[in-house]
Amino acid sequence: MTDSQQPTAAPGAPNDPVFPPGAHDADIERLFGPGGPLGPAVGGFRPRKSQTEMAKAIADAIAKQQTLIAEAGTGTGKTFAYLVPALLWGGKTIVSTGTKNLQDQLFLRDIPTIRSALQAPVSVALLKGRSNYLCHYHLERTLQNGRMTSREDVGYLREISRFLKMTNTGDKAELARVPENALVWNLVTSTRENCMGQECQYYQDCFVMKARREAQQADVVVVNHHLFFADVALKDTGVAELLPAANTVIFDEAHQLPDTATLFFGDTISTSQILELCRDVLAEGLAHARDGAEWAKVVTPVEKAARDLRLTFSQDIVRMSLPQIAPSSDFFPALQTLKDEMIDMVAVLEKNAERAETIEQCRVRGEELSARLEAWKFDPKAKVAPGEEAVYWVEAFQSSLQLHKTPLSIAPIFNGQREGVPRSWIFTSATLAVKNDFTHFAQQLGLENEVARNWPSPFNYEQQGILYVPQGLPDPNSMGYTDAVLDAALPIIEAAGGRTFLLCTTLRAVKRAADRLRDEFDKRGLKFPLFVQGDRGRTELLDQFRKAGNGVLIGSQSFWEGVDVRGEALSLVIIDKLPFAPPDDPVLAARIEVMERQGLNGFMGQTLPEAIINLKQGAGRLIRDEGDRGVLMLCDPRVISKPYGRRIWQSLPPFKRTREAAEVIAFFHRDEQNK
């Protein structure tokens, strides 16, 4: 997991003196300038003023052990702008990313490239959550139990067994032949609840422990936001041991932090967790304490209570805060029944816990789940839990139900994590500000008085693209809106020769757009391959879209960010609606209510900034390179008709703007003629 170089103390280690401001400016100029070491090491590298200035600001924040919020437009080269100062002067550095894909890219490509170019004597480690690492114990157990449900899983298990004999890391990302979302991984990896810890016979060979040991020794550790905040909440990822020694913490894709932190600083209990525990209790009870209880009769009432709780909502998908659930609903008595049945099951596990370590584990899991259920106490009439500034809400899926307790503000909790040992904290992304105003992002994380700076993209947006808002579209909430969008989009897609992303705000719109475009392409004889979210995995869809060269890809939220298609394969990005959070979102509703009680405008202070940051991400898919050209088609008429519309388009890249379809079609025809 660490590379072959031995850990070496980097300049600026914990006990080094703090450098004076601007001490590294000349070094940065030399490293990023013409004739510097980055040019020969990085294909196509060209000095960029914004990248150099950003690197200076980060070096300065590291030197002063300060916090910096850094927005860098697409094409700035922000990854190198923070990695160069971090590797040279950052001391022990934690780099946290929004996605595992970027995490792997940093570890496998970007950091080795820079380290080699700078000849920086730093060691680097990659640390992921435990579900990414193969577990010797659970693999052996699964092989013995033979509980495979399909022939495909049997084949995957065989591949995983071979992989165990060859891998040094146990990281499932290295085994491409078994899909990352294959269900068999759940049977051969550990969770916090079912890990045997030091009692495990394989503890010395454990891949999770090995990754954590290497991370502790390394100068630079690459993690992801989920791992970072899971650790803050659960103390179960290895970051807890890293943070005290860290001189520098860098969050890339930092716009995702508020949502990720909110997820982990709250609490979620799922009926799926309870049913999984019941399955394990039955298996371990029958294996180790058959005479200790009638195990089927122990787990059946809990399973029934969990399923009955889900059935108190008839719809497939539900998101409701407690005040929205009728007091006469079956939900409240069903929840109490589940709490009671869990207590009874835990009592039986206590009597049998000494019979086997695995039964003791089930008891610990059962007690913890039972305690969390008991703690889920609330006043059904209060939208916000009094005294704790949290909102209680439920989310129902097709076959499971989740009970959530979500803090209204993560700022106090996150600030608590930043107190203590002085260190530098860098927050960077292409989308942190609303019209150059960082207030919304800063307030969410409690960073109001910290330095915030913006470096614009080096791209010439006015020459490279057009922002097109079509005329005559109906209100986005009206019936048939998606069809109206497609009517406006079809001539533009045809003029672009396919090469389109259609980004929708709902899965229902994705489905409708896919059905309609299939029919239209067929009727019009348009040979544009159609790629639809959900038909295949995201990576596979993107690979096929790039190869096609004239494809049309329809996706929702997961394609709005972290997607990089350069060159002619993507020349048109269509956004169906402004990405406002759904009005029934329980957490958003509670946050707005609190803001409005304080005399603030909830829409302008919460809903609109969120939508603008999300929209900037979607718009950022279009121009990824200095040679890219294209059209951003924003279909929502509110950009023009509402007073807040100006704030929205002023936050987008400075494209040339038009409302005329003919001008857009002429743009594509000119491009075709110039080839």
Query: Where residue 2 falls among pLDDT bands split at 50, 70, 90?
Result: very low
Q: Is residue 415 part of a domain?
A: no
What secondary structure letter does DSSP report for 407?
Answer: E
Looking at per-residue pLDDT, the higher value among 447 and 567 belongs to: 447
Put the strands of the sheet holding 500-503 in their side by side order: 530-532, 552-555, 500-503, 572-575, 630-634, 465-468, 656-658
Dihedral of the alpha carbons of 200, 202, 206, 212, in degrees to the nearest 10 = 50
For residue 324, being part of any structural domain is answered with yes
Average pLDDT, stretch 623-642? 93
Domain check: are 113 and 142 in the same one?
no
The answer to whether residue 13 sits within a structural domain is no
pLDDT band, residue 669 (cuts 50/70/90):
confident
Res. 234 pLDDT band, cuts 50 70 90: low
What pLDDT, on a 0 to 100 scale, did the predictor assign at position 219? Answer: 95
Compute CA distances 81 → 76, 86, 123, 252, 253, whole Å: 8, 9, 19, 11, 14
Is the pLDDT reported for residue 7 higher than 70? no
Domain shared by 319 and 170, yes or no:
no
**pLDDT winner (highest mean) among 139-148, 194-203, 225-234, 376-385:** 194-203
Model confidence pLDDT, tens digit, residues 220-229: 999 999 888 8
Cα torsion for 280, 282, 287, 288, to the nearest 10°? 90
393 in the same domain as 369: yes
Give me the CATH number covering residue 273.
Answer: 1.10.275
Q: Quick one: pLDDT at residue 5?
A: 35
The confidence score (pLDDT) of residue 563 equals 83
Distance of CA 149 to the CA centre of its chain: 30
Indicate whether 283 belongs to any domain.
Answer: yes
Percent of the chain with pLDDT over 90: 57
pLDDT tens string 30-52: 999 888 898 887 777 888 999 99
Residues 220 and 139 placed together within one structural domain of the fold: no
Q: What is the pLDDT of residues 494-515, one digit of tens each?
A: 999 999 999 999 989 999 999 9
Task: Quickly state the pLDDT bin for 101 (edges 50, 70, 90).
Answer: confident
Whether residue 492 is contained in a domain is answered as yes
State residue 102's pLDDT score: 86
> What pLDDT shows up at residue 8?
33
Q: What is the extent of the structural domain holding 345?
A: 265-407
* β-pair type (267-270, 401-407): antiparallel
Q: Given this model, what pLDDT does residue 242 score?
A: 75
607: CATH? 3.40.50.300
Per-residue confidence (pLDDT) for residue 19, from 0 to 100: 57
Q: Are residues 539 and 465 part of one domain?
A: yes
- Per-residue pLDDT, averaged over 123-145, amounts to 90
Same structural domain for residues 398 and 434? Answer: no
Both 583 and 600 in one domain: the answer is yes
pLDDT at 383 over 80: no
Q: How sure is the predictor about 152, in pLDDT bands with cuts at 50, 70 and 90?
A: confident
- 229 shares a domain with 289: no
Task: Mean pLDDT check: name the lowest of 213-217, 292-296, 383-387.
Answer: 383-387
588-631: per-residue pLDDT in tens?
888 888 888 889 898 998 899 999 999 999 898 998 888 889 99
Query: Are 225 and 297 members of one domain?
Result: no
Same domain, 531 and 444: no
Q: Measure the CA angle with vertex 526, ends 521 and 531; round to 5°.
A: 65
Q: Output the pLDDT for position 570.
A: 94
Q: Is residue 628 part of a domain?
A: yes
Q: Which pLDDT belongs to residue 387?
A: 57
| Residue 395, Cβ density class (10 Å: 0-12 exposed, 13-18 middle, ≥19 buried) | middle
Q: Is residue 625 part of a domain?
A: yes
What pLDDT does residue 153 have? 83
* pLDDT above 80 for 16: no
Six-digit token string for 362: 């089930």
| Lowest-confidence region among 76-90, 187-201, 236-250, 388-402 | 236-250
Same domain, 177 and 311: no
Location of structure tokens 């180790």: 288
Query: Does the pLDDT value for residue 15 go beyond 80?
Result: no
Separation CA 197–CA 79 (nearest Å): 36
Res 375 pLDDT > 60: yes
pLDDT for 10 beyond 50: no
Tell me, what's the pLDDT at 675?
A: 63
* Residue at 215 is within a domain: yes
What does the radius of gyration of the chain's CA atoms come to, in whole angstroms? 27
Residue 404's Cβ-count burial label (10 Å; 0-12, 13-18, 19+) is: buried
Question: Structurally, how many domains does the chain consist of?
Answer: 4
Mean pLDDT (the chain, rounded): 88
Q: DSSP state, 7?
A: P
Q: Does 104 share its domain with 149? A: no
